[in-house]
Each structure stands twice: as C-alpha cells, then as structure tokens.
Structure 1
Amino acid sequence: MTSAEGIDEIHILWISEGMSCDGDTVSITASSQPAIEDVVNGLIPGLPKVHLYNKVLSPTLGGEEFLAPFRAAVKGELEPFIFVLEGSVPNEKINGDGYWSSFGNDQDTGEPLTLNWWIDRLAPKAWAVVTAGTCAAYGGIHAMAGNPTGCMGLADYLGWDFRSAGGLPIVNVPGCPVQPENFMETLTWVLYHAAGDAPPPPLDDKLRPQWMFGKTVHEGCDRAAYYEQADFSKDYNSPKCQVKIGCWGPVVNCNVPKRGWMGGIGGCPNVGGICIGCTMPGFPDKFMPFMDAPPGGSLSTTLIKPYGTFIRRMRGITNVTANKEPKWHHNRELLTSGYDPRWRP
C-alpha cells in the first residue's frame, strides 16, 4: 500500500534457497537493535506495516501455504515488497540434467522451480533487493575456487548496475554469518526510506552500507594498540595483536569488533578469534589458508618493531611515573602543594 508520502504497508519475501546454511536467518534472530519481532509487530515508530515471509520464522506449516505470497508476487498480485536473498546464486546454465537449488514446484508440470527462476521474476518487481550474508552478497564459501556450481553473488547474477523498482541498487549486508544488528539496522533504514522518512542508505562501491563497512577491523579492534607497540601474540591464548598468527584485521572492512556480536559483546578478535575476512568480496579464496600470517604481515610487523619497542618502553616509564601520587599528599603541618595566595590584596 503506497501513499503520496511513502509506503504504508510492505511485504518482505525472504528466500534462503541460495547455496546456504540458513545461518544468516538464525543470526538475525539475535538482533535487539532492533529486534525482528519489533519490526514485524509494528513497535518501531515510523515504519510501514511489515509482513515477513521467511521459512525459518514462518508460522505456516510450509508447502503451498508458505509459497502463496511468493507466487502472488510473481503474478504482480502482491506489492510492494522487499526481496531478501540468503545464500549464493548457482549457475543453472551448467547444471547438466538436474538443478542446483530449487524453491517449490511448478504447479502445472510438478518440476522444481530453481532459485534463478524466482530471482528472475521477483527482483525486477521488488521495491528493494537486500542480500543477507556474504554468500548472497559475493558468493562466499560456495563460490570458492574448485566449486562445481559456478556460484556467485546476487550482483554478479543481476548485474552491478541493477536497480530495483524503488530505484535502489542491491543492498549488500555481508558477514558469515551476517552480524545481527548490521542486517536489522540496514533493513530498518530501507524501511524508513520506503516510508519516505529517510534518504536511500549510503553504499560503498561493493554495495555495502558505508557507515558499517567504511572502516577496518583493525580500526575498531580491542587489540589494535598492541600492534602499534609491536607487541604480538605468539599463540591463541594471548590477549595481544594477532596479525602474526593469521589475523587479516588491518585490511578487512568490518565493524564487528567495534559493535560486538550479541548485545555489544564479542566480535572475532575481541574474543581471541582471528579475522578471516568474511565480509569481503574475495572471501574465502584471498584469505586462505586461514591460520597463516597474511602476506605483508611479516613486513609490516618487522617495520613497526623498532618504533613499537621504543614507544612501549617509554610508555612503561611514564606509566610508573603516573602511578605515583604527588609528594604534597601528606598529613603534616606544612602545606607543600605550591599554593600561593599572592594575588590577594
């Protein structure tokens, strides 16, 4: 339902039949800012009324009852809607005599309807198109070298210059899985834009929300100061910088260490996990083997060592000094703080 000011009521058609583990749907159920329940139940002021169709969160028993809104949207009988894809897009042109992924069956022939069939019909009609997770955004694990499916991200399939019926490019929210609040915050922005109360979400050249992916893991990491002081972990039990043991944080665009994972707590390096670049278009191929130090990690850590070692020593000396109380803190009869009332008449 659309008014002159914006959209009053909107549907969200969420298909997770891409090459996927459904981990992104599971992840977003942990969001609290906002919670998916609050969006669907109309508890966020200013949003359109939202109808969500997601197989994991659906109250239906599945089958044709669940597929009904998707079929209606294909026929142009359900609009406006936001199309959310979870999972990478396989290349059905190389499927041989079968198919890679399907979602329901053709009602006339009984043959499986491929994911690509649905994308071809839903994406052009959608008011907005949003990807949930790295697989849908860039192909992810299923698109790595050697895969037989020819998997790709949705923008690779539809084209990077694709525009939805609402005039928006594809909105990519990567992560393996997607960080809960990252996705829900982005979806909420899209919904506010649909309502006419916000501009289009600002995206970078990889179609990621700029305010989330404009900085690197390193810039928000709890351990970043150790890098500056050339104080590096030698194993995974250390609280220090993990660049030497496989962390790609200095070159990966992701806000998870700063934002946390659930309730502001967690984030890979914050809890001892190295960053493996899961929000990046080149994941996983460009970041493997995961536990090896990144190329350039040896050079950067060697170059910073003389500076870092000196700075760490100087800061240690200053720390000792700063941990001493001033000498005028005493209970003797003479004031030694330097107080001088000479300004008085």
Structure 2
Amino acid sequence: MTERDRGLDEVHVLWISEGMSCDGDTVSVTAAAQPPIEDVVAGLVPGLPTVHLHNKVLSPTVGGEEFLAPFRAAARGELGPFILVIEGSIPNEKINGEGYWTSFGNDPETGQPLTLNWWIDRLAPRSWAAVAIGTCATNGGIHAMAGNPTGCMGLADYLGWDFTSSGGLPIVNVPGCPVQPDNFMETLTWLLHHAAGSAPPPPLDELLRPQWLFGKTVHEGCDRAGYYEQGDFAGDYNSPKCQVKIGCWGPVVNCNVPKRGWMGGIGGCPNVGGICIGCTMPGFPDKFMPFMDMPPGGSLSSMMVKPYGAFIRRMRGITNRTVNTEPKWRHNREALTSGFDPAWRP
C-alpha cells in the first residue's frame, strides 16, 4: 500500500497570512468550537493525524527564523506532508514596479524580502492540500475591488482553477469576511480525516467551496425569512422584520451564518440586526455596493409579495386567534361535553 492509501500519521499546517489582509481570519478561527483549533493541535479529536500548526499569531516560537524554519524546509522539499493555508489576497507582483506588494521573510543570501507569490510558487505544488481561508484569499475580496493598484486576486485565480495539489485535491475555498470559525475548522477537520484515510475528499461546488456549507442562501436559514413571505418589511435597523428594503442581500447570497450563528450558535449578521452584504461571494464588494441601498430587484420582489403576504398575514392572524382559544368542553360543570361517547355506554 502507498502512503496515500493507508493514510497519513502526521501533517504540518503551514499557514501564511501575509496576503493583503487584516489577519481577521486567524483571529476568527480562535473562536471555533466545532472543533476548537486547540483540540485539533492537541490531538483530542479521534482519528486525526498528529497536527503541527505553524501560524504567526498562534505560534509558540519567538518569531523570526525560528518561525520561518518549517516554511523554508518545505520550500526546499524537506518537509511534508503539509497543508498550505493562505490568508489574504494575492497581489500581482508583475506590476509592482521596483518594489513589492507584500512579503514573508527575507532571502538569506540577499537580505531582500521574499514575496507571498514566491512562497506560493514553491509551496503550493508540494502541498498535500491548498486551502484559501477568507474571502480575500478565495476571490480577492476588498483588496481586489475596482480601482485597486495591486491587481489582487484569489488563490485559484493565481494558481488556476484547475490546480491540483500533490494529494490530488483541488484548492479548497472557505470564504467569509472574516471566515465563520466553525466553517473553517469543520473543513480542515474533514481534510485531516481524509488525510488519515478515514473519509473521502470533501465535496466542493463549482467555486471550490464546501457544498454542505455554501449550498443554501442566507435567506433560507434566516430568522427573518418568514416576514418576507408575509410581505412584512423593516423600515429601519431597529425592526425585527425582513431587511431586504434596507439593504440585505440575503435571498441571493450563499452563506450559512444565520443558521449556524457565529460563536456557539449565537449571532450571525441578520440574526443580530445586521444586513447581509454578500461578503462570502466572488463579486464582493463591488457587486454589493452601496451596502445600505436596497438590492436591485428588491423593490420588485417586495412589491409582488406584498398583496399575497398581506392576505396570508391576515388569514394567519385569524387562525392564530382561533388556536389561542381553549375548547369549550374544558369546564368544571357536572356534565361531560367533550363528545366522549363509547359504544358500550348504555
């Protein structure tokens, strides 16, 4: 049996957050609970290989060359197997003039900064799996919006959407601004189970996102969706009703945050009064601005549902009052009036 057939006993996670980003995805993942990242690293999740995490925020090293050592070893082909996690947009270093857009460590021989692109070129082909965490890494995000001077893009735009890792896997995209913590850890855990030989590859959609996480829209899991059906819309951000008219893109955005919550099942943008601005989508942010304006089509859809919704709301109100009334046979009088009449009664 090959090593791939019998599974891996040990995996390194090389996490580079030197893309154009705010490190928000790293911070977000520290709140994960299904499972917590510390449980994965500590070996408390049954069936997983031993995991060595190399992340600048979560690293126990003092930084510098001590922290860079496993990355340099992997670039030389001396460390493996490893999962490469990229956080942040990938800039186009072909248009950087005489400088560079972003870097990660220096070249030991010249002392010059090594660009993120330099690392991706050397690490991605050798990685057992390549994962883009957060919308910046998956599709470019904020830094790739119209008018940016850096030519930023997502990892799949840089490597090619048909890229395959040494483990035979396509890029795995887990979008979010920042990523929902449990979405990422659940995906990473699935990959680790696959690495151990105990699970198939995670199912991905055409945009390389985990299908089970991004197969439904915000609207389908939203606490406020019932108000939309009843044509009952919020006029301001203090209302608990559907927020389509005040800027929510939930009906057309693929995201599970309203259903999953943010931490411990609590939170999620529309659940706590925030509109959905489409931060998990490839067209973010350009196609969703201005964020506080009603989305195109929102006016038509809300107008069409309003007469139907008003009628349904009225009928449900009548039924609600009916079922809020106790049956008349519940009384303390001497006669039984419930309709109970057994056949054997004389």
2:154 paired residue number: 153
2:222 paired residue number: 221
Q: How far, CA to CA, are the matches of 1:42 and 1:263 in structure 2?
A: 21
| 1:326 aligns to 2:327 (yes or no) | yes
- 1:2 and 1:8 in contact (8 A); partners too: no
Residue 12 of structure 1 aligns to a residue whose secondary structure is strand
Structure 1 position 199, deviation (Å): 0.4
- 2:4 and 2:197 in contact (8 A); partners too: no
Aligned residue pair count:
345
| 1:77 aligns to 2:62 (yes or no) | no
Q: How far, CA to CA, are the matches of 2:345 and 2:68 in structure 1?
A: 86
Structure 2 counterparts to residues 35-184 of structure 1, below 5 A? 35-184=36-185
- 1:17 and 1:115 in contact (8 A); partners too: yes
TM-score, length-scaled by structure 1:
0.99
- 1:2 and 1:9 in contact (8 A); partners too: no
- 1:32 and 1:263 in contact (8 A); partners too: yes
Residue 52 of structure 1 aligns to a residue whose secondary structure is strand
Structure 1 position 342, deviation (Å): 1.4
Residue 302 of structure 1 aligns to a residue whose secondary structure is helix
- 1:180 and 1:261 in contact (8 A); partners too: yes
Q: How far, CA to CA, are the matches of 2:220 and 2:340 in structure 1?
A: 44
Residue 86 of structure 2 aligns to a residue whose secondary structure is strand
Q: How far, CA to CA, are the matches of 1:113 and 1:284 in structure 2?
A: 29
Structure 1 position 235, deviation (Å): 0.1
Tell me how large the CA RMSD over aligned residues is. Answer: 1.1
| 1:19 aligns to 2:27 (yes or no) | no
Letter in 2 for 1:254: C
Structure 1 position 344, deviation (Å): 6.2
1:308 paired residue number: 309
Letter in 1 for 2:234: S
Q: How far, CA to CA, are the matches of 2:303 and 2:294 in structure 1?
A: 13
Structure 1 position 299, deviation (Å): 0.3
Greater than 4 Å deviation, 4+ residue runs: 1-4
Letter in 1 for 2:205: D
Structure 1 position 343, deviation (Å): 5.1
Residue 82 of structure 1 aligns to a residue whose secondary structure is strand
Note the residue ranges of structure 1 that are not aligned, 5 or more in a row. Answer: none
Q: How far, CA to CA, are the matches of 2:15 and 2:268 in structure 1?
A: 26
Q: How far, CA to CA, are the matches of 1:76 and 1:254 in structure 2?
A: 37
TM-score, length-scaled by structure 2:
0.99
Q: How far, CA to CA, are the matches of 1:20 and 1:215 in structure 2?
A: 27
2:188 paired residue number: 187
Structure 1 position 5, deviation (Å): 1.3
Note the residue ranges of structure 2 that are not aligned, 5 or more in a row. Answer: none
Q: How far, CA to CA, are the matches of 2:31 and 2:139 in structure 1?
A: 23
